[in-house]
């Protein structure tokens, strides 16, 4: 009788300790995830399906095993886009053969004017490895939201419009996780060192 009671208490105590250990490990597992250096808590990105200037449909699953650098802009952009795309060509050259391990994508925030044909013509002025992506407004808007891009139409006095948009290049590891940004103000050495780290060359 006494032995049964001891065993019953023992079993309860064991169950309680086990529950506490599992709870502790679970909490710690998720907490540890948020303090890992370089890790990000904010989810950036999501599924997309757009038309590439290389004639293919490009999705988040395209270019398996490659890191990705995503840049959002529009072909009528007077400064940020052409500067960034020109610089991106220099980054790819600086990476040498390691540039094979990443894909740079230029996604329009102005699909009304930036048809695939317009994107293709525009990108001939830059490194041919950069692929442009376009689609319908309905396809582009969710991508802008998922990647937390700021893009706004600004009317001009002549009835035309320009786009105010985020200037950072978003970097993603081959597993799709967000690895940080190359900022518009980054000097070339900083940008190249970030990309080298991204492709595991540094
Ligand atoms: Ni731009």
pLDDT for position 14: 75
Residue 125 alpha carbon to ligand 1 centre in Å: 15
pLDDT for position 8: 79
Spatial distance between the Cα atoms of 126 and 82, rounded to a whole number of angstroms: 9
Spatial distance between the Cα atoms of 171 and 194, rounded to a whole number of angstroms: 9
Residue 53 alpha carbon to ligand 1 centre in Å: 18
Residue 167 alpha carbon to ligand 1 centre in Å: 7
Spatial distance between the Cα atoms of 163 and 76, rounded to a whole number of angstroms: 8
In the block, residue with structure tokens 């786009």: 163
pLDDT for position 11: 79
Which residues, 6 or more positions from 48, have their beta carbon under 8 angstroms from its beta carbon? 58, 59, 60, 139, 142, 143, 146
Residue among 1, 7, 107, 99 nearest 52 (CA): 107
pLDDT for position 25: 61
Residue 89 alpha carbon to ligand 1 centre in Å: 16
Residue among 42, 44, 25, 41 nearest 33 (CA): 41
Spatial distance between the Cα atoms of 59 and 166, rounded to a whole number of angstroms: 21
pLDDT for position 10: 77
C-alpha gyration radius of the chain:
24
Residue 109 alpha carbon to ligand 1 centre in Å: 9
Determine contact, residues 62/50, Cβ cutoff 8 Å.
no
Residue 75 alpha carbon to ligand 1 centre in Å: 7
Residue 4 alpha carbon to ligand 1 centre in Å: 76
- The pLDDT profile of the chain, 202 residues, written as one tens digit per residue, is 566 777 777 778 777 777 776 676 665 555 544 444 555 456 899 999 999 999 999 999 999 999 999 999 999 999 999 999 999 999 999 999 999 999 999 999 999 999 999 999 999 999 999 999 999 999 999 999 999 999 999 999 999 999 999 999 999 999 999 999 999 999 999 999 999 999 998 7
Residue among 147, 142, 112, 124 nearest 54 (CA): 124
């Amino acid at each position: 009788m006494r032995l049964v009671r001891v065993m019953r208490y023992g079993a309860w105590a064991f169950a309680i300790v086990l529950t506490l250990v599992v709870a502790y490990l679970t909490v710690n597992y998720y907490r540890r995830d948020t303090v890992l250096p370089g890790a990000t808590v904010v989810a950036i990105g999501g599924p997309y399906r757009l038309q590439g200037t290389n004639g293919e449909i490009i999705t988040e699953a395209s270019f398996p095993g490659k890191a990705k650098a995503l840049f959002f802009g529009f072909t009528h952009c007077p400064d940020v886009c052409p500067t960034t795309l020109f610089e991106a060509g220099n980054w790819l050259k600086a990476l040498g053969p390691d540039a094979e391990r990443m894909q740079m994508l230029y996604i329009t925030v102005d699909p009304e004017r930036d048809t695939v044909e317009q994107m293709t013509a525009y990108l001939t002025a830059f490194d041919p490895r950069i692929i442009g992506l376009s689609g319908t407004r309905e396809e582009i808007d969710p991508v802008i939201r998922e990647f937390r891009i700021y893009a706004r139409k600004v009317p001009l006095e002549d009835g035309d419009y320009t786009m105010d948009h985020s200037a950072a290049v978003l970097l993603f590891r081959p597993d799709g996780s967000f690895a940080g940004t190359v900022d518009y103000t980054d000097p070339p050495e900083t940008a190249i060192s970030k990309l080298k780290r991204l492709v595991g060359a540094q």
